[in-house]
Amino acid sequence: KPAPAPKKDAILTPEQLRDCVAQEQRKTKATDAALKAKAEIAADKAEIDRSGTALAQESGTLDRTSEDAVDAFNAKVDERNKRIEAYEAKVAAYNKDTEAIQTMDEAYNKSCANRRYDDRDLADIQRKK
């Protein structure tokens, strides 16, 4: 038979408080990493957009009779396509990480948020880091 859920106004035990502090630290670290990834994704998107504009302009003046010019242009298109694939992979990973952070947040809110604790227990935990 599972133990009954603690009442919301129950004071966290030192062990529960340690777990809550660890959960919060993991969530903060994951959030910081996601924010960094989001900035990288935005920079990648800007570069993809810039290169798309440049390729569109170059395509208008491309000497299609020159095999070297066409090959060079196609190489730039291939490079941009690789960047797009990498961008899409980063977006997918970011979305997965965001879902994981949401799950962490829900778990933290369920077991830790708005729960009381003894300030001395928190001081002990912080001192032992």
The strand ranges marked E within the chain are none
pLDDT of residue 73: 97
pLDDT of residue 57: 96
Please report where in the chains the tokens 């408080």 appear, as a residue: 17
Do 107 and 23 form a contact (C-beta atoms < 8 A)? yes
- Chain-centroid distance of CA 23 in Å reads 17
Q: Note the pLDDT tens digit of each residue in 46-104.
A: 999 999 999 999 999 999 999 999 999 999 999 999 999 999 999 999 999 999 999 99
pLDDT of residue 90: 97
